[in-house]
Amino acid sequence: MCSNASGVAVDPSRQLDLLLSAPAQSLLNMLSAQDIERGLSELRLSKALRKQHPPALVAAALALLELRQRGRAKFERAEDMYFTRAGLEQATAEPVAHLHAQRFRAFDQVADLCCGIGGDLIALAGRGPVCGVDVDPLHLQMAQLNADVYGVAVDVCLSDVRAIRLDGIAAAFIDPSRRTDTRRLRPGASEPPLAWCFGLAQSVAAVGIKAAPGLALDMVPDGWEIEFVADHRELKEAALWSPALRTSARRATVLPSGDTLVTTAGPAVEVARPGAYLLDPSPAVTRAGLVEELGRALGAWKIDHQTAFLSAESPLHTPFGRWLRITASLPWNLKHLRSELRALDIGTVDVRKRGSAVDVDDLQRRLKLSGSRAATVVLTRVQNRPWAFVCSDPA
């Protein structure tokens, strides 16, 4: 499928070789079976294990066990997978990887460039032949091992992606590195650079790029689709799709449901006084600039020209935001807000804000509440005036 122009051979690290040895496999199986508690017990466990096993083996096994436990947040089969700390951090979570793979269903062969430990590679292999390319021999071997865990066939190639030949391949996905050995790069910075990634579309028909959600939108060429993906309320990424894969100018997708909202033409959403309920849109919706589209779809209205909150008289069904029932609505004033919260017997507040300059930590300290109930305080603007809402979840 693809070949390394330089012909470099894979040379995995000694640590992974150690972990793949029979003694290490036996130790890992024993530790997994015991469902080891982490934290304070780890030091005692390490000391006990070192009486029976070489220190290097114990250290490697315990480090991998810790990463496998963290990996459960991303992978269903993390307990059998292989990770490095950096590889796990950048790896695409399983539900998001499956979302990426859906874009490539029409292509016979796909190249996964900068495949890392194999998050996207495994999902792409579920739809057909795929070649994973990475410059890191350790990550590349882990990608192969992790694909074996999922029972999917992959082809892997050790190379700088800029030296790879993609002969006969019409589709490619790339997840460029967004961190160095010591720090995370600023949004829009990566290796290889985004400009090179966008340039792939000149030689490969269909290109998808995984980017940081804070990416400046003016960096994306005309004709590309920008898809913002959130898992529950956490914004995960910006996925960039070349014209051959584009289905809309902007898209917001929420997981685990997979519901999606796209750019549509229509009249401006009305701006009016708040109703009985407030909708806090998914961060994927706000980042994609689709609040107007959501408002039109729901028949809701905006409470301010600039802020992203929507309002309605009832909690309309939508996967694209969280409804809050408005208990109190008042112009922003610390004294009046504190008085309102005390009258409602509120002792604990979750403060959210959009378009407000109030320091949340300072506000929490100055409220000095002692009630028995909890509430959500929303700080925002209503028709260009600083405003506060006291809210609860809908009944």
Residues of the chain with pLDDT under 50: 3-12, 37-40
End-to-end CA distance of the chain: 56
Per-residue confidence (pLDDT) for residue 185, from 0 to 100: 73
Decide if 277 contacts 285 (C-beta within 8 A): no
Per-residue confidence (pLDDT) for residue 99, from 0 to 100: 97
Q: What is the per-residue pLDDT across 135-165, written as a single tens digit (0 to 9) for each?
A: 999 999 999 999 999 999 999 999 999 999 8
Per-residue confidence (pLDDT) for residue 5, from 0 to 100: 44
Distance CA 390, CA 216 (A): 33
Q: What is the per-residue pLDDT across 248-288, written as a single tens digit (0 to 9) for each?
A: 999 999 999 999 999 999 999 999 999 999 999 999 999 99
Structural Rg of the chain based on CA atoms? 25
Residue of 274, 283, 370, 43 whose CA lies nearest to 291:
283
Phi, psi (rounded to 5 degrees) for 87: -65, -40
Per-residue confidence (pLDDT) for residue 148, from 0 to 100: 98
Distance CA 17, CA 23 (A): 11
Q: How far is CA 313 from CA 117, 290, 295, 298, 325, in A?
A: 48, 21, 13, 11, 9
Distance CA 28, CA 9 (A): 28
Q: How far is CA 152 from CA 120, 145, 315, in A?
A: 12, 10, 44
Kindly list the domain boundaries of the chain, sorted by start residue. 3-86, 90-260, 277-392
Residue of 181, 195, 179 whose CA lies nearest to 91:
179
What would the CATH number be for the domain defined by 90-260?
3.40.50.150
Per-residue confidence (pLDDT) for residue 348, from 0 to 100: 95
b/e map 41-56, b = 16+ CB within 10 Å: eeeebeeebeeebeee
As a residue count, the chain comes to 395
pTM of the complete model: 0.89
